[in-house]
Structure 1
Amino acid sequence: MYTQCNHCNAIFRVTMKELTAAQGLLRCGECDNIFDAMKNLSQTLPEERRFAKLSTVIPAEIEEPIPIRPARPLEKLLKRFLNIKSWHSRYFLIIGVSALVLLLILQVLYISRNWLAQQPMTSALTQQLCALMNCDVTIPRDVRAISLLSRNIYSHPNAPKVLTISASIQNNAAFPQPYPLIEISFLDKNNKVLALRRFPPEEYMHNFTEKLMPIGVPDELILNITDPGEDAIRFQFRFM
């Protein structure tokens, strides 16, 4: 006997035993739709459906498919077509999933950009990418990790009442960081501040281009400041 799915019009060969066991309800092997096989039950294959595919049907309560041999050689061509269609579906599915994964990774990197900017291995790359993408990133800084390696003061050779201070500073942090604001103060014998001046990086770095202090590399700097007079007996540095 033959029956037909009312959803995709696929034709199936069935037995009365199968219909009785499933109470007339079968699952279409083509569209997975459950249909009433008794409504379109026929003893013969209709002439206009002679070349339609005889597909596998599954009783609604049974999970295992019932194997049925194809009625005509046309079934091989249809299977090949379905396999090609399935391959294309998997191909586009892989592309879609890959795009979603890439988008998720970019979102995680964007959210973690400040943390990545503080890591020695990813700091420079993170700042370069954020510069290209025009996103804000908080550059880590720790002025306590900047050390004064040497300092010296002497009268300016060409300008009267001007003192020249030469010094060497170094970034000992585990990450590159912005150059600090340097405060120089002169004190008398009672530790009273007689003169104070703060120097931005543009004033003490030659050809400063807003670059970061490298890790463990000394920077030599020259500062000029007005002579505070004979009462000043010492001076001190402070990084800000």
Structure 2
Amino acid sequence: MSMVTRCPSCATLFRVTPQQLQARDGQVRCGRCMTVFDGFTGLAILPDQTPPEAPLPAAMESAALAVSHEMPATETKAAVAGDAVAPTVPEPTTEPPLPVGFEFEPIETEAAPATRSSFEPMVKRAPAGADARSRTALSSLPPIKGDELFLEQARAKRRSRSWVWSAGSALMLLALAGQAPYSYRSELVATYPGLRPAVAQLCELLECTVALPQRPKLINIEASDLQSVDPARPGVIRLTATLRNHAGYDLGYPALDLVLTNTKEHTLARRIFLPEEYLDKSKNRRAGFPASAEITIHLDLDTGELGAAGFRLDLLPAPAR
């Protein structure tokens, strides 16, 4: 018995073995059209066919008789009457000739590498009209118990691998779905402020923090002024600024970008003040800038001998801490 499979693209038959199918889980490549297909799908069992014995040629049966008739009559009498033993006629060879039109084809004995899953076609492509008959003949062949067990084990192995891959993919999707809200919790709260209480409770369990969104463009400088504090010390000045949160949700306190200029609007000095530097100690920086709230900032600065005559004040996103 031999196992064959059929290419679904060009209908070419191939002789295969269980070891070749197991090398790539049944995935083989057609040597004629180079199509990759599942060798288990069109697998069938073909019985071994023994060639019929060639009949003996009729010429051998009458070989001896033909020799005796060809001898002359005088020689025949002399052979019978004489004491000498007549020479024996050689027996004809009994090896039958090969049937006309039958040729032996050499079989390649070189083993293919274990990692190669493509096989050279051993049977030529069936002509048009014979495909249906060959499929019917293959489907009517009785399966062998050993090969049927091998096929069933291969199918069960493929089903188990499919189930493992499906379960692993589902777990990865669940892990990704749970990791995305955790990694982008601050952006989620900034986009949907109503989720902040729920995210804050979740962070208490996971020991994480939810940073307030930094939106300096939603905070407006309502008023700002720079005055001298002590006439005896002209270098000591006080910056007063009023900020208002125009967003509909809490924001993180911004950083203040202060630039001191002279009478010609040339920059003399520049400094960035973080929230913990300009906020009163009574305010909690982590609580954030309440929605629609307003705060007033007072900053005392010692400019030395710069002789600042003007200033520029701007708001920048504060770094997360």
**TM-score bracket, shorter-length normalisation:** 0.3 to 0.5
TM-score of the two chains, using structure 1 as the length reference = 0.48
Give the number of the structure whose alpha-carbon radius of gyration is greater: 2
TM-score of the two chains, using structure 2 as the length reference = 0.37
The answer to which structure has the higher strand fraction is: 1
